[in-house]
Amino acid sequence: MKKTISEVDPRSLAGKTAVVRVDFNVPLEGREVTDDRRIAESLPTIELLRGAGARVVLLSHLGRPDGQAKEEFSLAPVAARLEELLKAPVAFVRAPRRAEVQSAVRALPAGGVALLENTRFLAGDEDNDRDLAAFWASLGDLFVNDAFGVAHRAHASTSGLAEAMRAKGGQSVAGLLMARELRFLEEALRSPERPFTAILGGSKISSKIGVISALLARVDHLLIGGAMANTFFRAMGLATGTSLVEEDSLAVAEKLLGEGEGRLVLPVDCVVAPELSDGAPSRAVARESVPGDMMIVDIGPKTRAAFAEEIGRSRSIVWNGPMGVFEIEPFAAGTIAIAHAVAAACERGALGVIGGGDSGAAVERAGVADRVTHVSTGGGASIKLLAGGRLPGRDSLDDRA
């Protein structure tokens, strides 16, 4: 268990400076933040520190500027949105020069907030440069990591900074969002209430083989949808028409079918269409009857009902990956149905955790984000955790006493 900022005595924070890594990697259109969820999710951590009278120095990356200062990846629009959400001034520190960063931090009043420009404008961040991590650590008295979305990366602003802070005698602790993500994804799944059902979908089986095997070992049922199911269909000898299939993964799919006997549940029917477009005529067919000139774009109505029933019987549910090409409205029904089934189960007391960028967007679109237990802010990090992998951003934090 990792130490969390809420376990640090607030009296010890007054007048101190907290260096806080957040994940403000939000979508922008021009200079407008189009989705501020990630900013909003870290507000409790920032408010806790300010309330205790600490100065808050925020670090975040945005996009992939590859170690160069590129205006399109500037955090300036994020600083503006953060000011609105906090209803307090935010000192945005553009200057890359260390002396200027230091004086901007020193000028902060108690409870004041500064946001430094995109950490990835400096090549040292992704290279996990020790000197850069030590500089960031030198700006404060403790390090708070609230950036679950990049916890699977060992960068200077994540694990490097945690180690540098410890080296100079300061604490490195989890922020409230980080702690919440870990609690739901890691701890709750370690000893889940049963039945425990996982739902996996999305486009690629190859990127999620680790998750499939790790979950198969722990769940009572693993429901598979999305294009991922197509590769399993082919491994079962079914015809899949023009559907997206990963030929290279057929052998793995076959092996997983064997391992998952009795627990791995595949769709019994699917929605097929001649092409991926809004106006394409689509219809439901049994999985044995996919026409040669059509592609599978969603799970069918029988599968939706069967999956919803299984979800309804479950006490713990993990979901990653949409059931179909949900970006195209007529092919979103399967994904939306699963979102509603998970929400209904949560309302009856089940634990429902959603991981993955597209799955999170789907739950949001279905309008049930507030009705499920937890929607993770981290795509790659949540998948890595579900697969039993290690997260350097988490591992580098102080252990709870």
One of 60, 197, 359, 373 touching ligand ADP (CB under 6 A) = 359
Burial of 329 (0-12, 13-18, 19+ CB in 10 A): exposed
Which residues between 226 and 285 bind ligand ADP (CB under 6 A)? Answer: 226-227, 244
Amino acid 256 reads L
Question: What are the CA-CA distances from residue 325 to residues 13, 51, 253 (Å)?
Answer: 48, 45, 21
The answer to whether 292 is a known catalytic residue is: no
Question: What are the CA-CA distances from residue 117 to residues 96, 169, 211 (Å)?
Answer: 8, 26, 35
One of 140, 267, 356, 378 touching ligand ADP (CB under 6 A) = 356
Q: Which position among 94, 130, 183, 204 bears the catalytic label?
A: 204
Does residue number 324 form part of the binding site for ligand ADP (CB under 6 A)?
A: yes
- Bridge partners (DSSP) of residue 2 are 399
**187 close to 306: Cβ distance less than 8 angstroms:** no
**Judged by CB under 6 A, how many residues of this single chain contact ligand ADP?**
20
The answer to whether 355 is a known catalytic residue is: no
Picking from 199, 195, 193, the residue whose alpha carbon sits closest to that of residue 211 is 199
The answer to whether 3 is a known catalytic residue is: no
Q: How far is the CB of 298 from ligand ADP (least distance, A)?
A: 7
Q: Which position among 63, 312, 380, 388 bears the catalytic label?
A: 380
**144 close to 175: Cβ distance less than 8 angstroms:** yes
Compute the distance between CA of residue 142 and CA of residue 137 in angstroms, rounded to an integer: 8
Please calculate the CA angle 221-226-228 and round it to the nearest 5 degrees: 75
Q: How far is the CB of 202 from Mg ion (least distance, A)?
A: 6
The answer to whether 390 is a known catalytic residue is: no
Q: How far is the CB of 361 from ligand ADP (least distance, A)?
A: 8
Which one of ligand ADP, Mg ion, none interacts with residue 174, CB within 5 to 8 A by kind?
A: none
User: What mask of x and - would describe binding to ligand ADP in positions 167 to 186, judged by CB under 6 A?
Assistant: --------------------
Which one of Mg ion, ligand ADP, none interacts with residue 387, CB within 5 to 8 A by kind?
A: none
Other beta carbons less than 10 A from residue 278's beta carbon: 8
Which residues between 192 and 231 bind ligand ADP (CB under 6 A)? Answer: 201-204, 226-227
One of 149, 160, 322, 352 touching ligand ADP (CB under 6 A) = 322
Q: Which position among 67, 357, 379, 388 bears the catalytic label?
A: 357
Question: In this structure, what DSSP letter does residue 187 have?
Answer: I
Amino acid 40 reads A
Residues lying near ligand ADP in the complex (CB under 6 A) are found at 201-204, 226-227, 244, 296-297, 320-322, 324-325, 327, 356-359, 379
